[in-house]
Structure 1
Amino acid sequence: MLAYSTYSEAGGVGKTTTAANLAVAHARAGLKPLVVPLDPQDGDLSRLFGVDDQRTESVDNIVRHMVRRPIGDFKDLIRTVEGVDIVPEHNMLSDLTEYLQREKEQSEAMGEAFGIHAQLLRVLREAGVPDEYDVLICDPPATEGPHLYNAINATRSLVIPVEPSAKGRAAVEGLEALVAGFEDQLDIKVGVLAGIPIGFKNTRDQNAILGEIDYPIPEIIGERSSLMEGCWMKQCSAFEYVRTHRDRRRDYEIETLAQFDRLARHLETEVGIEAPNPPEPGDVDHEVMIT
């Protein structure tokens, strides 16, 4: 299974839209992706895909499963949009740290171990996710804490949207230190599958910054704010937005869709997955066939 978390310390770089569009790109090729977003903010992946309508405390959610208080099966959490299975975010994620700490204290009082940063991994394994899905994508918030650490522990790999600026370079440098510390803390290895520069305008400074990034950069995405804002307005992926909501198809937007398709193939190849029905990159009318 291909598993990765999209992460960037720099806000507003397109982390969530990258996760969403890569998930759809995997699905377009006939693979079965599961997305587990963990960001408690309202502008999250659940909102992007229009599955953020069940947030009351009486509703079963991923936090209940992580603290061993589910009120239903894991499979019942899942919503499917554009061929992508999604575990929607929930308001309880805002207090995830407190819920996990409380469960840890109760477990230790009973002589049981409870790893705060291993609970998402446990939930996914117990639900049979590694056997049922081809791709797992986690979309944690940018801030350090159990949301991020659970995502990294569950996936062990990162895809990093990069702002091609001095701020973005600093974020990448900070990420390297964070990952090194996390590897030492949990005694695991964390790999970086790709860095994805977003908002590239081909300036001299931007090219210099890209030359300093040590991670693989399979694609460089240009400034596409109109396309991405359209996705949020219509609550869909860029593929669906161009296919359904654009009055005409713009060549540069089709090329951006092709880049997401190529990125998905690159990530799949990194772990030896061959998609059964890959589209011609950027073919928005390609029929999704899940095998």
Structure 2
Amino acid sequence: MLTYTTYSEAGGVGKTTLASNLADAHAQRGRDVLLLDLDPQNGSITYLLGIDAARDDGDQDNIARHLIDRPKGAFEDLIHETPFGFDLVPSHNMLEDLADLLGRAESMAEDLGEEFDRFDRLRQVLLNAGVPDKYDTVIVDPPATAGPHLYNAIGATRSLVVPLEPTGKGMQSIKGLQDVVDNFEATVGVDVGVLAVVPNGVGRTADQQEYLERIRELGYHAPVAIGERSSLFEGCWDKQTTAFAYVDEHRSRKRDHEMDTLDQLRELAAHVEEVA
């Protein structure tokens, strides 16, 4: 089973856009894909994909309720089919209070003499719902900041795909990536692997190759470097769709550089499947 979390230390580097397009690319390759949105921000993957979920309805069942063991229904009822060939568990505003909710749930469990690991809740929820029997690929998109959303994502998936800002600051963050991974392992108590590092928004072809070589020298997989595609990816957000569907449905003329980017996304998905 393929499981990974899209992670970046900083926002604005295409983490959520990458997660949605990798889900699409995996589905195109015949995989059964479940994408989980753990980001409580309004600009989350639930919005990007145009999923109609009442995220501000506190009475509605949602992923946060399942993480604190207070569900209002079956986990499978949270799952939305998307028009892109994969399924999604949407975000909910209750995730904004997840740290407090998990803390209270943990205290109650301790009072009752029960086990409750706040950073292992997502894995337990997925196992109890039989997700490994229904899907062969699970992708989790949490917020970038450290906290229970990110730690639960890592605890459940044990692997990362890391988009990279193609700047000196971005390269510096990659140099410190092993320290970040070590911190995750110490906090969550699991071994964590980096399946791929993905420079995103790179300029000239020569620059792309330079970034790839520097990342590989640091010992990480870097199968592709995605060029500067603001028109394509901003179009995805505007039309609430993946890059594949955007080019197919909203481009009257196929642009070679955008078709090359779609091929890169498919190549990246194939690489992640192989190394995982």
Give the TM-score taking structure 2 as reference length. Answer: 0.94
How far did 1:53 drift?
A: 3.1
Partner-residue secondary structure (3-state), 1:116 = coil
How far did 1:203 drift?
A: 8.1
How far did 1:11 drift?
A: 1.3
Whole-Å Cα distance in 1 between the matches of residues 200 and 183 of structure 2? 27
Q: 1:122 aligns with which of 117, 121, 124?
A: 124
Q: Which residue of 2 aligns with 1:187?
A: 189
Q: Which residue of 2 aligns with 1:261?
A: 266
How far did 1:183 drift?
A: 1.2
Q: Deviations over 1:31-59 (max 9, x none)?
A: 10000111111000000111153111111
Unaligned runs of 5+ in 2: none
Q: Deviations over 1:47-90 (max 9, x none)?
A: 01111531111111000001011011111101111111000000
Q: Higher mean Cα deviation, 187-196 or 169-178? A: 169-178
User: Would the alpha carbon gap of residues 208 and 219 (structure 1) be closer, same or farther in structure 2, given more than 3 Å must change?
Assistant: closer
Q: 2:136 aligns with which of 134, 137, 153?
A: 134
**Which 4+ stretches in 1 moved above 6 angstroms?**
203-206
Q: Which residue of 2 aligns with 1:91?
A: 93
Q: Deviations over 1:153-183 (max 9, x none)?
A: 1000000001111121233244422220221
How far did 1:247 drift?
A: 1.6
Partner-residue secondary structure (3-state), 2:114 = coil
What letter corresponds to residue 79 of structure 2 in structure 1? Answer: I
Q: Which residue of 2 aligns with 1:27?
A: 27
- Figure out how many residues of one structure are paired with residues of the other and give that number: 271
RMSD between aligned residues: 1.5
Q: Does residue 1:39 correspond to 2:39, yes or no?
A: yes
Q: Which residue of 2 aligns with 1:147?
A: 149
Give the TM-score taking structure 1 as reference length. Answer: 0.89
Q: Which residue of 2 aligns with 1:234?
A: 239
Q: Which structure is richer in relative contact order (CA contacts within 8 A, separation 6 or more)?
A: 1
User: Would the alpha carbon gap of residues 142 and 206 (structure 1) be closer, same or farther in structure 2, given more than 3 Å must change?
Assistant: same
What letter corresponds to residue 145 of structure 2 in structure 1? Answer: T
Question: Given that residues 212 and 224 in structure 2 are in contact (C-alpha distance below 8 angstroms), is that contact kept between their aligned partners in structure 1?
Answer: no
Q: Which residue of 2 aligns with 1:112?
A: 114
Whole-Å Cα distance in 2 between the matches of residues 204 and 80 of structure 1? 40
Identity %: 54
Question: Given that residues 35 and 138 in structure 1 are in contact (C-alpha distance below 8 angstroms), is that contact kept between their aligned partners in structure 2?
Answer: yes
What letter corresponds to residue 88 of structure 1 in structure 2? Answer: P
Q: Does residue 1:68 correspond to 2:69, yes or no?
A: yes
How far did 1:263 drift?
A: 0.8
User: Would the alpha carbon gap of residues 26 and 108 (structure 1) be closer, same or farther in structure 2, given more than 3 Å must change?
Assistant: same
Whole-Å Cα distance in 2 between the matches of residues 50 and 190 of structure 1? 31
What letter corresponds to residue 68 of structure 2 in structure 1? Answer: V
